[in-house]
Amino acid sequence: MKKVIAIIIVLVALVAAYGCGAAEASIEKEEEVPLSNEALSLTLDESPLEEPSAMHMEILVNLDFGMYGEIAALPYMSALTDAFMEEHEGSSIDFAVVSKDEALELFHSGQTQAVALTGETDGSISVANQCIGIAVHPESPIGDLKRSQIFEIFSGAINNWKDLGLEDAPITLYVTERNSASRQAFEDMLSLRSTGGISKSLIPAEAVVLPDEDSVAEAIAGDKNGIGFIWASKFYKDVILLAVDSTNPNESSIADGSYALSRPIVLLFTEELISLVEFAQSPKMENISRDLGLWPIKK
């Protein structure tokens, strides 16, 4: 009887010890919860952004294959991966935000299978165009601006409409937040960042910063002296888009490259990911691209 009791005591002790060990192991193996796309958006919105090229943020989304992209291509990359996973049940994608140079280095060294970038890149396929429109009030007498004049306006060198031959009135700048794709694209296309050391936006601190392009368009619709940048591929009520260097933003001028404030979003990929690129060129992604303010490139 004593042997039975002793055995029971030993068994109880072993169970207790195993339970404690399991609890400790559970604590030791506890992992961080991956960031969702929504969490990423909040993280970027709350983070001060001095130089996108210095940013390297891993965003885990149930790995299956890896994809990297620069911050200006983030909305497209996020929408593409979400739509692809929804369309292909069981697939999953890991993507990360890095600088353009880092993304290219990772791809060419075989450390990632796909990258999403902006601007022409050797060996890439263009899937959509970022096209910036310069918006003014419908009653504005301006119809055309030179690229150099846009730079001077948004860098603060020109701050009164009289400097452009119009009536004496201060110019009000309306811009989106520093980490928005439209502002990244706009500043990149016009070189509106300081060079050397930490890169900083040249847009004056007096500019009115708004959360998105819709808000910019709405503000300009109520301000005859206002000017701002929005996506040229979307329709906005009560504002007009200026010609840039005598060329209006439209599907034709974007396609032939004659409109100055436009650049492609491109994908570099390995042969294993041809299905992702085919999906990027599908009618479904064309519609999603338009919703993002991009001009889709039809296959």
Same domain as 106, residue 67: yes
Residue 190 and residue 151 in contact, taking contact as beta carbons nearer than 8 Å:
yes
Same domain as 118, residue 209: no
* pLDDT, one tens digit for every residue, the chain (299 residues): 333 333 333 333 333 444 444 333 333 333 434 444 443 433 344 444 444 333 333 333 333 467 899 888 999 999 998 999 898 887 788 788 888 999 999 999 988 889 999 998 999 999 999 999 999 999 999 999 999 999 999 999 999 999 999 999 999 999 999 988 899 999 999 999 987 656 789 999 999 999 999 999 999 999 999 999 999 988 888 999 999 999 999 988 988 889 999 999 999 999 888 888 899 999 999 999 988 889 888 76
Same domain as 266, residue 123: yes
227 within a domain of the structure (yes/no): yes
Same domain as 286, residue 199: no
Same domain as 247, residue 145: yes
Listed in sequence order, the residues at least 6 apart from 34 whose beta carbon sits closer than 8 Å to its beta carbon are: 59, 60, 61, 62
12 within a domain of the structure (yes/no): no
Residue keyed to tokens 């090229």: 53
Domain harbouring 85, CATH code? 3.40.190.10
Same domain as 251, residue 164: yes
88 within a domain of the structure (yes/no): yes
21 within a domain of the structure (yes/no): no
150 within a domain of the structure (yes/no): yes
175 exposed, middle or buried (CB, 10 Å; 0-12, 13-18, 19+)?
Answer: buried
Q: Could you list the residue range(s) of the whole structural domain that residue 275 is in?
A: 37-128+262-296
What's the total number of domains in the chain?
2
Same domain as 103, residue 165: no
Q: How many residues does the chain have?
A: 299
